[in-house]
Amino acid sequence: MKAFVFPGQGAQFVGMGKDLYENSALAKELFEKANDILGYRITDIMFEGTDEDLRQTKVTQPAVFLHSVISALCMGDDFKPEMTAGHSLGEFSALVAAGALSFEDGLKLVYARAMAMQKACEAQPSTMAAIIALPDEKVEEICEAISKEGEVVVAANYNCPGQIVISGSIEGINKACEQMKAAGAKRALPLKVGGAFHSPLMNPAKVELEAAINATEIHTPKCPVYQNVDALPHTDPAEIKANLVAQLTASVRWTQTVKNMVADGADEHTCKADGAAQGLGGGHAVVFAIQKVGKNNPQKALGAVEDAPKGTGEQSHCHVVKGILEGGLPQTQRTTLCCHLAPGEMRRMSLQQDAAQQHQHTAQHEPHSRKAEDGSRVSGVDGEQPVAQFYERKG
């Protein structure tokens, strides 16, 4: 079965969607419609803005949504999902892809969500951190203990085995990072984000978003949509609405989502962006999570590696994966994978089909967009997009 997955905040990069706009009449029509709906030319920011412009939650979320959805719609007859899912913000893209939301309503909801979250972030400073190589149970135990002391700390994103993002108050996150490193975490990395997404600190935004969701018509999707709050497939509009509301303060259960999709028959996970199949909207870590989750399955991730040209002063590598699961994506489709382990640091993993060895590279990398030889992009991680650690493993 063919699954389409969509990234969340953090998949943005300067120039996103420009190739689509310039080469597809449909894409241009949809981007211009989006400009009209939003009341400003978001395309100017997406195509020619700065990283700082794109990093604002109120801009990032509609930008990533537009890139994801328009990339999918421009696939034409090749876009035939049998199941969809999206990481956090990506869930709205998944619902449009499945026909549960119209393009217009999806964009309006995403913008309402972004504005509500921006206000919540400004009202109470807060943050997130990535915890690497510590059991889920231990992460949850430490979060609970610190929360009992009066701080807010929760497990926000279960991104892949061995990697969780926690969310909460600045003091709570600082305490949690110290305790998790003492408990054996390989890394506990505070993230440069606008606030504590997927935590109780988003409750003010939840109230505002709930009103917008309840006023929006959601249709029965043409295929199951696996939602973040419970990692289960949903087709009932009432359930979908309730889960969208709950999602803002609940954990993103991406690990279990991928496991459930594979268990339910997914053997192709497609992510497409910028005209070349890469991540529906450029989601690198979303795809990596699929690989990491699926590594104990009999299906294998296949791929190849290419070097990127010098971008802003140093060599970086992009890793082009031609298939996510054995027998998966067509050889012509490629997915760029990258992740940030810390600000300015990137570790990358290459997968080579039928090769005896694999290679892993680390390069200093500024947290902004790079362009690889195949035209794909590598973008920094911010907001909700998972910060994943890449592990060498046999194919």
88 is catalytic: yes
Cα 387 from chain centroid (whole Å): 9
* Cα–Cα distance for residue pair 130/385, rounded to 1 Å: 11
* Cα–Cα distance for residue pair 262/201, rounded to 1 Å: 33
- DSSP letter at 386 equals -
Catalytic one of 71, 93, 169, 198: 198
**Strands 83-86, 2-6: parallel, antiparallel or unpaired by DSSP?**
parallel
198 is catalytic: yes
Cα torsion 102, 248, 165, 178 to 10°: value is 160
Cα torsion 126, 385, 388, 276 to 10°: value is -160
Tokens read off for 233: 């497939």
Catalytic one of 71, 88, 369, 379: 88
Q: What is each CA distance from 376 to 69, 91, 245, 271, 353, in whole angstroms?
A: 17, 23, 33, 12, 20
Catalytically annotated residues: 88, 198
